[in-house]
A = this chain, B = another copy of it.
Amino acid sequence: MTLPAGHPLSDGLTATSPLVRAMRGDRPDTRPVWFMRQAGRSLPEYRAAREGTEMLDACLTPDLAAEITLQPVRRHGVDAAVYFSDIVVPVLLSGVGVRIAPGRGPVIDEPVRTAADVLKLRPVDPSAFAPIREAVGIVVAELGSTPLIAFGGAPYTLASYLVEGGPSKDQLRTRALMVSDPHTWATLLNWCADVTGAFLRAQVEAGASVAQLFDSWMGTLSRRDYQRRVLPHSRRAFDALRGTDVPRVHFGLGTGEVLDLLPLTGADVIGVDWRLPLDAAVERLGTPLPIQGNIDPAYLFAPWDLLAAHARDVMQRGEAAPAHVVNLGHGVPPETDPDVLTRLVALVHEER
């Protein structure tokens, strides 16, 4: 797969943006910054736009998903948009019954727990992604030279929702399936990789210039289990982007023990949560890759001077990497004052 004609990246529209340059290891004049979960509940314009619409309906309504994706770019002046969606959207588009329970998260109608359950999962029909492609088209037309980041959940996190039936604290049933029935596990994770890979590919083909794979829950795995039973499937998800040269970002929570393994997924950029200082993360990573992160979201609720000092410290430690994309160490908390984020973007852009 090569990028279609008119794609913002191959056309050179976004290729010289600070974000794409940094993700390719360059050091642009201003350090790029965006925020995970920047499109969402922290913004009053998001709450107004979403009013009366269910989460998954919003994700599948092109005009609305595009509008929500664009809102934080207009407001904060961040260096990228990230596609507004939910990691279960491709699961839904594959025919699995799922809804988002407010205040709880995704709930699966029939959890997937046995070999028979896994066999019932069907491959996703690429045409099901039509609303996604349409929304991405609207977004990139407005963004111009600002890149759009495609969004997808990593196979382990996706599988956790399917097996647990919803959010869970330590993914016990999921890990039980993993250690009890490796064959069924591999089949399930391959399915998840293909589904999320197709989701990322649809976004990239329609105009996204970067792809990020989120593995929110990998921190509950031992290093050995991650390496043997999860990592190969994350690589398979990224492999769906073969032939395109969009930078691939991999982010997970609690990855301190496995940072050196993450480049084996095929990631070009490694996102780091708030737990580990970036200079330590760069050292553990070993491979000289650009790094993304890792302002502690707790500081968003601190007096400005403390947040500013913390952000500067993060930027200084980020110097240890070949290149640094500033971000939070986790998603924007819904209760964040959006003005604080706008001010933070200005600080990052002024810093050098």
Contacts and interface: CB of A to CB of B under 8 A. Distances in A.
A221 interface: yes
Nearest to A294: B222
A276 interface: yes
Contacts of A283: none
A297 interface: yes
Contact of A296 (B175, B223, B257, B300): B175
Copies of this chain, tallied across the complex: 2
Contacts of A303: 180
Interface in A13-51: none
Contacts of A176: 298-302
A275 interface: yes
Given A180-B303, A180-B306, A257-B275, A298 B330 contact: no
Nearest to A173: B301
Contacts of A275: 220-223, 257
Given A254-B254, A275-B257, A302 B180 contact: yes
Interface in A25-82: none
Interface centre among A176, A254, A256, A330 (most CB of B within 10 A): A176
B219 A179 contact: no
Nearest to A256: B257
Given A222-B276, A222-B277, A275-B222, A298 B179 contact: yes
A333 B175 CA distance: 13
A170 interface: yes
A88 B310 CA distance: 33
Contacts of A172: 297-298, 301, 333
A143 interface: no
A223 B275 CA distance: 7
A179 B296 contact: yes
A107 interface: no
A306 B220 CA distance: 20
Contacts of A302: 176, 179-180
Interface string A301-329: 11100100010000000000000000000
Nearest to A254: B254
Nearest to A275: B222
Nearest to A222: B275
Contacts of A330: 170
Contacts of A220: 275
A128 interface: no
A18 to B, nearest CB: 28
Given A179-B298, A221-B275, A224-B277, 5 more contacts: A172-B298, A173-B301, A175-B298, A222-B274, A256-B257
Q: What 4 pairs between A and B have smallest CB-CB spacing?
A: A175-B298, A176-B301, A180-B302, A176-B298
